[in-house]
């Protein structure tokens, strides 16, 4: 654990109703009385950098011990994929892995969870010391920033990695904050207030986009495979190769999809080995066609019906 130096240190939690709670840190002891719901909070006066210390939280016969607690710098690293990008995928990772155990940097990763209201508890997470076995999972941007701070300030640096690739800025803004903004206040009344409304809203937006406001028709893949290329003229256009999550509003969709594309196989493909396939994909996908071609990747020289002058859709 890393606590912020030179700032008041708040400590809070839940205990039995009206129970007395004591917390010790750096030879200091603070106490608090839990309220009618069992919530309690206390604070330590600012402390300078140092450690390792032990923090002990006690109430009645119960106690929790936190060891290797450092006082230094704590920074929140938040944002989208640029912040989420892990060190193990970055240039220079092998070199950093060799020296990580000597770098006074620690990371707390906040697990992903969607919530329409403020949460009082995380679904998981723990402080990780930088070493050869852990540093690869650190935010690359957060790690290099923290490493530079540690070198210049000569303190332990803790980064709280609360990032989620592809999220919109509004996802990180509380309802109260939006209400206080002249630009965003008008949006609040239309926001969902529970998971059911959220799902319905996302489904409605997706269908409006996918069907261009027209009535929804649930085709099967087999039915669509028999349609001519002109049938798809009014469909939404996608650009491939790319991730489906970045095509239109498909980022909010989890289910089956259908993409149509016409290709021409002329004699040049029959004259020498060629391969028909979807390319790199992380989903269970099949090829469909109207000319009796295989529905899985295949080589033209292994399929006798491929010949000059034939068009396959």
What string of H, E and C letters represents the secondary structure of 84-113?
HCEHHHCCCHHHHHHHHHHCCEEEEECCCC
Three-state SS for 171?
helix
Question: In which residue ranges of the chain is CATH 2.60.40.10 found?
Answer: 2-163
Highest mean pLDDT among 143-147, 201-205, 206-210, 248-252: 143-147
Homologous superfamily, domain 2-163: Immunoglobulins (2.60.40.10)
Long-range residue pairs from 30-35, CB within 8 A, at least 24 positions apart, any chain: 34/59
Helix (H) or strand (E) holding 151: helix 140-153
- Decide if pLDDT at 295 tops 60: no
Q: What pLDDT does residue 306 have?
A: 45
Gyration radius from the chain CA atoms: 28
Choice between 253 and 37, residue whose per-residue pLDDT is larger = 37
| Integer CA distances (angstroms), 7 to 13, 47, 52, 73, in order | 20, 7, 18, 10
Residue 205 binned pLDDT confidence (cut-offs 50, 70, 90):
confident
CA–CA separation, 47 and 55 (whole Å): 14
pLDDT > 80? residue 138:
yes
Could you identify the residue written with the tokens 């949006």? Answer: 187
CA distance 152 to 146: 10
Indicate the pLDDT class of residue 225, thresholds 50, 70 and 90. confident
């Amino acid at each position: 654990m890393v606590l912020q130096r030179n700032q008041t240190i708040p400590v809070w939690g839940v205990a039995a109703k009206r129970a007395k709670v004591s917390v010790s840190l750096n030879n200091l002891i603070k106490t608090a009385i839990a309220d009618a719901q069992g919530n309690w909070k206390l604070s330590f006066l600012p402390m300078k950098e140092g450690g390792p210390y032990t923090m002990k939280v006690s109430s009645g016969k119960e106690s929790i011990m936190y060891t290797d607690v450092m006082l230094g710098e704590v920074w929140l690293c938040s944002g989208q994929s640029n912040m989420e990008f892990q060190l193990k995928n970055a240039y220079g990772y092998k070199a950093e892995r060799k020296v990580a155990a000597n770098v006074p940097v620690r990371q707390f990763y906040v697990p992903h969870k969607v919530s329409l209201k403020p949460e009082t508890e995380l679904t998981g997470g723990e402080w990780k010391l930088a070493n050869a076995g852990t540093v690869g999972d650190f935010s690359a941007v957060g790690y290099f920033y923290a490493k530079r701070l540690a070198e210049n300030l000569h303190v332990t640096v803790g980064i709280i990695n609360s990032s989620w690739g592809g999220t919109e800025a509004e996802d990180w803004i509380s309802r109260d904050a939006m209400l206080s903004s002249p630009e965003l206040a008008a949006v609040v009344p239309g926001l969902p207030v529970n998971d059911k409304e959220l799902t319905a809203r996302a489904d409605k937006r997706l269908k409006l986009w996918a069907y261009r406001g027209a009535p929804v028709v649930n085709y099967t893949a087999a039915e669509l495979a028999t349609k001519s290329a002109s049938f798809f003229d009014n469909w939404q256009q996608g650009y491939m190769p790319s991730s489906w999550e970045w095509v239109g509003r498909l980022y909010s969709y989890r289910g089956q999809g259908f993409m149509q594309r016409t290709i021409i196989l002329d004699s040049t493909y029959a004259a020498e080995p060629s391969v028909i396939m979807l390319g790199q994909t992380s989903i269970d996908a099949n090829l469909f066609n109207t000319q009796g071609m295989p529905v899985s990747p295949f080589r033209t020289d292994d399929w006798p019906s491929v010949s000059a002058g034939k068009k396959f859709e």
